[in-house]
Chain A
Amino acid sequence: MNTLIKYEFLKIAKKRATLIIMLVSLIITALLFGLPVLQFQTYDKDVLMKGMEGIRYGRSIKDGIDATLTDEYAESVIDEVNGLFEDPENVGNDGSERFLIGDAYWEHIAPREELMNTIASAYTGPGEYAGYNLIPELTASGAKGFNEARRDKLRAIIESPSRELSSEQKEYWLSMTDKSGVIRYGYHKGWEIIHTNFELLIFAVLACCITIAPVFAGEYQTGTDAVILAGKYGKTKLITAKITASMLFGIMAFLIHVAVAFGIPLAFFGADGWDLPLQVLGLTIPYPWTVSGAVLRNTAVILLVLIAMISLTLLLSAKMKSPFQVLSVLIPVLIVPMFFTPSGASGIFNQILFLLPYRSMVPEIGKYVSYQFGGIVVGLLEVRAVFYAVFTLALILFCRRVFKKHQVS
């Protein structure tokens, strides 16, 4: 069996087309995940810093945003901002908003602006904009402590009638949010880029599927199906070997893409913040995971999506007469869902959209998407994992059957 798997793997890997597709796809992935590096820009008081210069500057001041968001720390920040706004010399106004200007901004706000925005966001209503400049209004006399305000906001989101969550789902999300304790904040730019660009890995999935498309259909096209099906293991072990080799190749190729995709932002922005809670990306994210833990979880789900898409490719390949026919079905399956955006987190249509291949690459960590089966509530990532695992199993069984029954013509 190992020899069969080895040769089936070589059949995929040695093709010139495979090498070209993989190279192009790796370049595209590198460019897409490299764009945030190339386009990065930041300011200090005097200059605009672009690319690596900006990144270096950001990293040089990263220690300034290391903080544990206790009520006391948040209060000190709020007091500091309110104090700055009390001096009219520090305040600018564009007609609709007040903001800090001059040294007050550049020295006190700019280096920690994202952190301050995060603190402010605990005090805004669900879905409302939160910037440091709103702190004076949001924290007027009698304001709650930061963590209580955050908890109230989470509860308001979960209880919001527009979300149409059942009582079981509300309970599920409330208990989920209870698990995240006091938030530790810090520099996490590299991980943030990964979190916001997961869906770009669709090109890697597509490339893997394109290289797998000829596994069965290529045999029909060249007429080698007759020879292999007349071999002792042509209808038995060979099918297993083809499926195993395709999976191995697909997974290996995908992991190389992942290494490039994740490696670029982490190499340039650093891996700092890997152990920070997910809430640094958004205060209302309910999951009690670290930033890197969420990346691992979603990557595992994407891997399952990939495996399912490889299985679908193999089934189509076993069923159709040429790799081009396979791609004519497969590409729309992967691309068309890009144009459907869920309008909410509930309702059958939305819940199906969240399970489509392209959409399944996006972790949707802030959308409170869950599925209810009777009295049991299951989170989006878990449902995706089970859905794609079951889908894979069904497709593989079907694929085996189709090739076994293939009639040479």
Chain B
Amino acid sequence: MEIQLDKLTKQYGSRTAVDGVSIILKPGVYGLLGANGAGKTTLMRMICGVLAPSSGQIRADGKTIDRLGEKYYDRLGYMPQHFGFYPDFTAREFLLYMAAVKGIDKKRAGERADELLNTVNLTKMAGKKIRTFSGGMKQRLGIAQAELNDPELLILDEPTAGLDPKERVRFRNLISDLARNKTVILSTHIVSDVSYIADTILLMKNGRFILTGSVDEVTGSINGMVWETVTDEQTAKGIMNRFPVVNLHHESGLVRLRIVSANKPHADAVPVNAGLEDLFLYHFGEEGKEENT
């Protein structure tokens, strides 16, 4: 499925959450990166048809999603950020309910629910009420519901938020597995999540895409702007006051700094290859650094 966003805009009063976004999305994994408030969730909700744009259009294979109606939703899987579950339902009941909402027939729904519970490693918890689940289990159940109808377009909003490192790795692998032959839009402000699995990075700031491309392409935009230096603590403090520092590491009385700057920050600084975290900090500054911590 090809998704075309055409000058998509969402305004809340005088604030513009998404500002004239245009892009064509083809099968592949898209990592939507941006600080909080960048417009990621608003954009995803509009793509999912649960939030009407103020202007602009969303087309799926050339037809507007309003016109496609149920046909569009039939090809869509969505896992929103922080969505609640029905605590009195068991995991299996929840999936069967969602399958009914997605129009999957009863027999197929049962098979698919069991299959996905196995995929997300929740088979043993299938009959347990969701109120007893940990955060990670709920996230896995969330992705299982999004996958029920084997969607061509899978939208995952901050799927790894709140997970511990082990769960996050597990989740990334799961998404990677499920993403084959689909268009997957994965929103996060955790850079490492997308750096492993995204084919294309969409860097969003103030409601606009400010960079799009593969990891190498987008990080290439700041090549020559990422530096490393090892210096004493006093000098390090001075550098930190003047430049955005991606990383700081104490090494036998000295400090190793990774700095993003268009200008050479220190006489001993040497240029290094840029990564996504560097790019994130470059564009989002301290705000991005805090979120990525």
Contact = CB atoms under 8 A, between A and B. Distances in A.
B155 to A, nearest CB: 8
B84 A232 contact: no
Contact of B83 (A3, A11, A223): A223
B76 A4 contact: no
6 contacts: A3-B106, A7-B97, A222-B84, A226-B50, A230-B76, A234-B73
Interface in B41-85: 45, 48-52, 69-70, 73-74, 76, 78-80, 82-85
B92 to A, nearest CB: 12
A225 B82 CA distance: 12
B80 A232 contact: no
B149 interface: yes
Contacts of B101: 4, 228, 231-234, 238
A228 B100 CA distance: 10
A229 interface: yes
B145 A227 contact: yes
Given A7-B97, A224-B84, A226-B83, A233 B70 contact: yes
Interface in A367-409: 407-409
A15 B100 contact: no
B86 interface: yes
A223 B106 CA distance: 26
A45 interface: no
Contacts of B76: 230
Contacts of A229: 48-50
B89 A10 contact: yes
B93 interface: yes
A226 B78 contact: yes
Given A407-B52, A408-B45, A4 B100 contact: yes
Interface string A191-224: 0000000000000000000000000000001111
B50 A15 contact: no
A3 B149 CA distance: 16
Interface residues of A, number: 29
A8 to B, nearest CB: 8
A231 B73 contact: yes
Interface of B: 45, 48-52, 69-70, 73-74, 76, 78-80, 82-86, 88-89, 93, 96-98, 100-103, 106, 109, 145, 149
Contacts of B48: 226, 229-230
B98 A231 contact: yes
B78 to A, nearest CB: 4
A10 B86 CA distance: 10
Interface string A229-262: 1111111111000000000000000000000000
A168 to B, nearest CB: 52
Contacts of B69: 235
Contact of A223 (B52, B84, B96, B102): B84
Contacts of B96: 3, 7
Nearest to B104: A232
B84 A230 contact: no
A320 B108 CA distance: 35
Closest 8 CB pairs between A and B?
Answer: A222-B84, A231-B101, A7-B97, A226-B80, A232-B103, A14-B88, A230-B78, A408-B50
Contacts of B102: 231-233
A225 B78 CA distance: 11
Nearest to B48: A230
A7 B89 CA distance: 9
Contacts of A225: 50
A234 B98 CA distance: 10
B200 to A, nearest CB: 22
Contact of B149 (A223, A232, A234): A232
Contacts of A230: 48-50, 73, 76, 78
B70 A408 contact: no
Nearest to A237: B103
A394 B142 CA distance: 36
Contacts of A223: 80, 82-84
B85 to A, nearest CB: 7
A229 B96 CA distance: 16
A232 B88 CA distance: 24
A408 B50 CA distance: 6
A224 B83 contact: yes
A408 B51 CA distance: 6
A15 B88 contact: yes
Given A227-B80, A230-B73, A16 B100 contact: no
Which of A7, A10, A237 has the most chain B CB atoms inside 10 A of its CB? A7
